[in-house]
């Protein structure tokens, strides 16, 4: 299964630059970033950028949800 480098854009400014670079095996599924009792959701925009000379899919923030209890 292919792995893609992804960069998270938008959402909470408290997410560090290091945490914004992720890896995913699907460009069609949301990336869920666990943060403070919830999840920040990011979806692929269709765009790609260069991160440290490597292509990375751009995932933009779409919503926040609470962790189910």
pLDDT of residue 6: 97
Beta strand 31-35 with 54-66 is unpaired
Q: Is 29's pLDDT higher than 90?
A: yes
Domain ranges of the chain: 4-66
Q: Is 31's pLDDT higher than 90?
A: yes
pLDDT range class, residue 64, cuts 50, 70, 90 = very high
The reported pTM is 0.91
pLDDT of residue 53: 93
Q: How far apart are CA 19 and CA 35, in angstroms?
A: 11
């Amino acid at each position: 299964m292919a792995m893609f480098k992804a960069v998270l854009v938008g959402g909470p400014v408290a997410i560090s630059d290091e945490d914004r670079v992720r890896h995913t095996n699907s460009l069609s599924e949301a990336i869920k970033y666990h943060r403070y009792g919830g999840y920040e959701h990011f979806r692929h925009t269709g765009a790609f950028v260069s991160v440290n000379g490597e292509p990375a899919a751009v995932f933009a923030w779409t919503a926040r949800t609470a962790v189910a209890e």
